Amino acid sequence: MNDTPAPYPLEDAEKSRVVILISGTGSNMVTIAELIRDELPEAEVSAVICNEPEAAGIQKARSLGIHTDIIDHRGFTSREEFDVGLMRTIDAYDPDLIVLAGFMRILTPDFVRRYEGRMLNIHPSLLPKYQGLHTHKRALEAGDSEHGVTVHFVTEVLDDGPNVIQAVVPVLDGDDPQSLQKRVQLQEHVIYPIAVKWFIEGRLSMQKGQSCLDNKPLPPTGLKLDT
Ligand code: GRF
């Protein structure tokens, strides 16, 4: 029997470092930060970075004792310049994983290439359906019977990288964009922590443009959860 004590607490230098980027309320950021705090002692959230100085998520991150950086994109003359500033800030933490959690910026190719394979995003649709904005409204207008949310690796095309995991949410009679958004968001808080946990545990990777779990390619939808 191996009675060697668990190697925790780890020295900070040994931990996987996660940087989370937000622009808004930060509910996904909170679920991921709580997951890491409570269940992944081998990881830490090094910082939450936000481009909106008034975003509610900033205070939530601080309440969790997480360091925050605010980089207002309006202080830069171009998208490229902003992304260079953002990369400098991110790189200071030497992160293993970058989590986009409602980060409402289109990223430049240089930025995406720098973090390819270690940057995840969550998008409120069953990708590849409804890339871009207003996904709940578009699903309702199309008369879809189901909608949902996807976690994917970020590649150069917006909302297009390989899927990791999806949750399917039924569209109910009488749904409006707000009611649908609320039900979808409940599932966001289920699937994003799963994907982050897989990554931290070394199980999730992007190989030759495909998402792999335990080195086996995931289906194009990613792992699909029906709710
Ligand atoms: C979520 O709906 C997510 O799918 C989208 O932006 C929203 C962020 O919400 N990318 P929150 O800030 O995590 O509450």
Q: Which atom of ligand 1 is nearest to the CA of 100?
A: 10
27 neighbors 186 (Cβ within 8 angstroms)? no
End-to-end CA distance of the chain: 41
Domains of the chain, each with CATH number or no CATH: 15-115 (3.40.50.170), 124-227 (3.40.50.170)
82 neighbors 76 (Cβ within 8 angstroms)? yes
Q: Is the pLDDT of residue 54 over 50?
A: yes
Compute the mean pLDDT over every residue in the chain, rounded to the nearest whole number.
Answer: 94
> pLDDT by residue (tens digit) across 119-153?
999 999 999 999 999 999 999 999 999 999 999 99
Taking CA atoms only, the protein residue closest to ligand 1 atom 7 is: 102
73 is catalytic: no
> pLDDT by residue (tens digit) across 80-128?
999 999 999 999 999 999 999 999 999 999 999 999 999 999 999 999 9
d(CA 206, CA 182): 30
In the chain, what percentage of residues exceed pLDDT 70? 94
pLDDT of res. 60: 98
Instruction: Tell me which of 73, 123, 152, 189 is the catalytic residue.
Output: 123
Place of tokens 């909608």: 147
Gap from CA of 117 to ligand 1 centroid (Å): 21
Judge if pTM exceeds 0.85.
yes
Ligand 1 probe mutation, 23, 31, 49, 122, most atoms within 8 A of CB: 122
- Enclosing H/E stretch for 141: helix 135-141
pLDDT of res. 40: 98
